[in-house]
Amino acid sequence: MKRQASSPEETSALLGWYDRHRRDLPWRAKPGETPDPYRVWLSEVMLQQTTVATVKNRYAAFLERWPTVAALAEASLDDVLHEWQGLGYYARARNLHRCAQAVAALPDARFPATEAGLRDLPGIGDYTAAAIAAIAFNQPTAAVDGNVIRVITRLRGIADVMPAGKAAVARAVEPLVPDDRPGDFAQAMMDLGATVCSPRNPRCELCPWQGMCVAARSRNPERFPAKPAKKQRPTRYGTVFWITDREGRVALRTRAEKGLLGGMAEFPSTDWRDVPWSSDEAIAEAPLVQSWTPLDGEVEHTFTHFHLKLAVLTGGPVSPNAIPEGYRLISPKAFSGEALPTVMKKVAALVAKAYSS
């Protein structure tokens, strides 16, 4: 990154504001403390696509259970996925585990101190590498995420449509990163975007950049960043087979590690396709021959790229020997010990509701 000798006025104003208004976050080193790269990394991965409030709840439990990267590297993937519940996007949890193992396998078993070295690790993209390099290792890197895009497009009046305009934002933010306090700058940008320059109703009157900001002068800062027209999410359909034995235990299995909900537990189901399944079509796909009872209602869940509607067919009791290969029988009381994603919890809740009424 091309460096300049002195920090511009915007940088001084932002850092002065940060010194007065910085958020006290559990993973953040206090002034004068040396940041712990493990904590910085853990919080940054958790914060990808998850709110600070949710991360606050999960971070402490994670840290208590696995206080070091070496401890996390030795954990089972199942335990990590289970502890990750509530944070969503489970691919991050799998990458978190792989990353911990990759770090533990390095000659000095420490996180690399450079942006490039960090980017080579599983689950660490451009933004996270730059953020960790700045915060944990005081490297003068420019971390550009949605938050930074919003604040910088407003400050400079960058009208490019996102995400294509990200390069213009990177060019605009680089000269603002100070050599002496890059970690504080990255965290100040996070705080400014979270508490002042919010997506809706930015509080320009409280902003250290008010007098320098193009969007504030326009009196319509919310029009930045310019967004492309929204695509409709498609809807997919599936049918779940709720198979029980005489003890009320339910058949479930672990999904393949790769792909959506990889490594998570699921009940048997048809494929999830673009058109609804009739009962006859679904039964033809059932993992065993059995008489099936359709449940009233359906489960709806929204993933990043599609909505899902699931019908449920119940069957049983079946003999444990009849359970299809690859499935195991688990009592609903023991579901809390399984890495069940939210969509499967909704299936279990629909069944529980049907049988309690």
190 makes contact with ligand SF4 (CB under 6 A): no
> CB count, 10 Å around CB of 252?
21
- Beta carbons of 263 and 94 less than 8 angstroms apart: yes
15 makes contact with ligand SF4 (CB under 6 A): no
The three-class DSSP label of residue 328 is: strand
From residue 217 to residue 236, what is the string marking binding to ligand SF4 with x (rule CB under 6 A)? Answer: ----x---------------
Among 77, 189, 216, 264, binds ligand SF4 (CB under 6 A): 216
250 makes contact with ligand SF4 (CB under 6 A): no
- Long-range contacts, 110-115 (Cβ 8 Å, 24+): 110/37, 111/37, 111/38, 111/41, 111/69, 111/136, 113/137, 113/139, 114/139, 115/139, 115/141
Active site residue 298: no
243 makes contact with ligand SF4 (CB under 6 A): no
**Closest approach of Cβ 47 to ligand SF4, in Å?**
20
Task: Rank residues 112 and 221 by Cβ distance to ligand SF4 and give the closer one.
Answer: 221
From residue 146 to residue 165, what is the string marking binding to ligand SF4 with x (rule CB under 6 A)? Answer: -----x--xx----------
Residues numbered 71-130 forming contacts with ligand SF4, rule: CB under 6 A? none
- Which residue stretch of 4-12, 14-22, 210-218, 234-242 sits at the interface with ligand SF4 (rule: CB under 6 A)? 210-218
Task: Rank residues 215 and 347 by Cβ distance to ligand SF4 and give the closer one.
Answer: 215
In the set 44, 83, 115, 266, the catalytic residue is 44
Going by C-alpha positions, the residue among 140, 120, 113, 117 that lies closest to residue 40 is: 113
Strands (E), the chain: 235-243, 250-254, 265-266, 293-294, 299-302, 307-315, 328-330
**Closest approach of Cβ 195 to ligand SF4, in Å?**
10
Token pair 């809740």 is found at: 349
Task: Rank residues 188 and 243 by Cβ distance to ligand SF4 and give the closer one.
Answer: 188
Task: Copy the structure tokens of residue 191.
Answer: 């705080």
339 makes contact with ligand SF4 (CB under 6 A): no
Token pair 């060019």 is found at: 171
By the 10 Å C-beta count (0-12 exposed, 13-18 middle, 19+ buried), 197 is classed as: buried
- Which residue stretch of 159-167, 200-208, 305-313, 348-356 sits at the interface with ligand SF4 (rule: CB under 6 A)? 200-208
14 makes contact with ligand SF4 (CB under 6 A): no
Q: What distances in angstroms separate CA 153 from CA 4, 6, 223, one per listed residue?
A: 21, 22, 10
Please state whether the peptide bond connecting residue 225 to the residue before it is cis, i.e. omega within 30 degrees of 0.
yes
210 makes contact with ligand SF4 (CB under 6 A): yes
Catalytically active residues are: 44
Q: Which residues bind ligand SF4 (CB under 6 A)?
A: 151, 154-155, 196-197, 202, 204, 207, 209-210, 213, 215-216, 221
